[in-house]
Amino acid sequence: MAFSRYSDDVDVTSFENPNGDIVVVVLNKTNESRPAGIRVNDTVAQLDMPPMLIMTGVIN
């Protein structure tokens, strides 16, 4: 599993649970909304991250 980011304004980490679910945690460290995209294989989910927000998602 790997992840990348294009800006120091947004932090990201991800891991795989023992049951195979993928957990993604994204942090917008700015006072402005930021776009983010999560890609799994050929599928991309586009997010609009509000200011100063932590998002957690589970992909199963």
pLDDT digits (tens, 9 = 90+) for 16-32: 999 999 999 999 999 99
Q: Please tell me the predicted confidence (pLDDT) of residue 17.
A: 95
Q: Please tell me the predicted confidence (pLDDT) of residue 5.
A: 73
1, 22 in Cβ contact below 8 A?
yes
34 is a domain residue: yes
> Which pTM value belongs to this model?
0.81
5 is a domain residue: no
Q: Please tell me the predicted confidence (pLDDT) of residue 20.
A: 94
Number of domains into which the chain is organized: 1
Residues (pLDDT < 70) of the chain are 1
**How many whole angstroms from its chain centre is CA 38?**
6
27, 11 in Cβ contact below 8 A?
yes
Supply the range of the domain harboring residue 15.
10-59
21 is a domain residue: yes
